[in-house]
């Protein structure tokens, strides 16, 4: 959740799937600071995130992701 709290500072819309280090899978939906995430059962094996915002780029998103996941 800390990843989502930090990344929403730079985004106005975020959605996707996060695979944690212990292989739990979470579906995420964020609009501004409204954050929704839930653990799901799926065969997704890789984190995939779509982010829209200002002053955000893939490198910044990856740095923040790696800091927490």
Instruction: Tell me the pLDDT tens digit for each residue of 31-40.
Output: 988 999 999 9
Strands 34-40 and 25-31, sheet pairing: antiparallel
**pLDDT classification of 41: cutoffs 50, 70, 90:** very high
Using alpha carbons only, give the angle 32, 54, 58 rounded to the nearest 5 degrees: 100
User: What is the chain's length?
Assistant: 69
pTM for the full predicted model = 0.76
């Amino acid at each position: 959740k800390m990843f989502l709290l930090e990344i929403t500072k730079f985004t106005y819309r975020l959605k996707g799937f996060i695979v944690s280090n212990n292989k739990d899978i979470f579906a995420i939906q964020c609009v501004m600071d409204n954050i929704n995430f839930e653990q799901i059962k799926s065969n997704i094996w890789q984190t995939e995130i779509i982010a829209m915002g200002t002053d955000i780029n893939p490198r910044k998103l990856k740095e923040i992701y790696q800091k927490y996941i």
